[in-house]
Homo-oligomer: A and B are copies of this chain.
Amino acid sequence: MTTYGDLNIIPRTLLGPGPSDVHPRVLQTLGYPPVGHLDPQFLDLMNEVQDLLRFVFQTENALTLPVSGTGTAGMEAAFANFVEPGDSVLIGVSGYFSERMVDMAGRYGAHVRRLDRPWGEVFTADEIEDALRTQPAKLVALVHAETSTGALQPLADIASVVHRHGGLLLADCVTSLGGLPVQIDAWDVDIAYSGTQKCIGAPPGLAPITVGPRASEALSQRKSKVSNWYLDLTTLAQYWGPARAYHHTAPINMNYALREALRMIQEEGLEARFARHRAHAELFWAGLEEMDLGLHVARQHRLPTLTTVRVPAGVDELAVRKLLLERYNVEIGGGLGALKGQVWRVGLMGYSSQPRNVLLLLAALREILGR
């Protein structure tokens, strides 16, 4: 068979929809020798990771932990645990990841009702309330930060509507957690999940999830076993809680890295970190406007973490991305689903959110597009 040489990867500047660049401190911590998943030292680290996750989620939820998979495993954990066959689920669909929610909820036997909007738009509390008045839902799922469109779904006034109609609110925070406010307790969101590889600043491999008291109560009232053994939150909570009952072997090194990344968020401070993400997004948007490039999402609903740039007429979007990658070692993303070929997706998240990256990308785009 072929004999393979040393890993020989040209480093990139990651300005796509994720993974984002990882600070050397986090990478160094990732490579520390593993200890066992029941080693008292690792159990202490688990407590620290949970405490730091609560800080970033702005919650006191006891059931807050990283599940052992990438962001999509967070989505899977949410639907596997909070949907039973026959449950009515309402999903606001205006992007690729809310479409994924529809597919996933259906696989767990939910009666899914869709509330559709064009990709890049968001939902109002009134729309959700109207839909629930027609027919209540056990679970309402929204994407807080839609990675496919760059739209920011306001959540602050949604939970009260959902609760008034007896449901639980589930929010996908993959592209928001650690980069913009995610106030689980203040907004009264019942279930939220994220990934480590975007605004958190760690490599991909873990999916933080948090579950509030209403949702924990619902979990304890389930009639059927969670069909997904690996992501069963009730048994996971026995490993992450005081019982420390063995469930599965945790990805030790990824938890080292997550701890370090969260510690860096703590050092920076949440407000400063959000301001940094906002400032560099503004800088990037201003540069795009100077080049007369259009943005897909209206300013008031625009994510500071992920920007969708309209591809100008006559420009080959893939060719531009290839040039960025090959000539400058800069990665940005293309459009997904309904936006395929129409937008570029630029992430300024975590360690990638730096002025030097904004300047570099703007300069490279100027050169390639001749603007």
Residues of A with Cβ closer than 8 Å to B?
1-4, 7, 9-12, 14, 16, 18-19, 21-22, 27-37, 39-42, 45, 48, 51-52, 55, 68-73, 75-76, 80, 100, 103-104, 106-109, 195, 197, 203-205, 225-230, 246-254, 256, 259-260, 263, 266, 325, 331, 336
Contacts and interface: CB of A to CB of B under 8 A. Distances in A.
Contacts of A75: 229-230
A7 B256 contact: yes
B33 A11 contact: yes
A12 B35 contact: yes
A134 B133 CA distance: 55
B18 A35 contact: no
A225 B39 CA distance: 39
A45 to B, nearest CB: 7
Contacts of A69: 68-69, 73, 230
A239 to B, nearest CB: 12
Given A2-B48, A197-B249, A203-B252, 16 more contacts: A7-B260, A9-B35, A9-B256, A12-B35, A22-B33, A34-B203, A35-B331, A69-B230, A71-B249, A72-B229, A72-B247, A72-B248, A72-B249, A103-B229, A107-B228, A195-B249
A16 B3 contact: no
A158 to B, nearest CB: 24
- Residue with the greatest number of chain B CB neighbours at <10 A, chosen from A7, A229, A259: A229
Please classify the interface of chain A as helix (H, G, I), strand (E, B), loop, or mixed, using the class held by over half of its residues.
loop
The 5 closest A-B pairs by CB, nearest first: A31-B31, A72-B248, A205-B251, A76-B230, A203-B253
A218 B40 CA distance: 44
- Residue with the greatest number of chain B CB neighbours at <10 A, chosen from A1, A203, A250: A203
A229 B33 contact: no
B230 A72 contact: yes
Contact of A336 (B28, B32, B205, B246): B246
Given A27-B31, A69-B69, A228 B36 contact: no
22 contacts: A2-B48, A7-B29, A14-B35, A14-B36, A19-B35, A19-B37, A21-B33, A22-B33, A22-B34, A27-B253, A34-B197, A34-B203, A68-B73, A70-B251, A71-B248, A73-B230, A75-B229, A107-B229, A203-B252, A203-B254, A204-B249, A205-B254
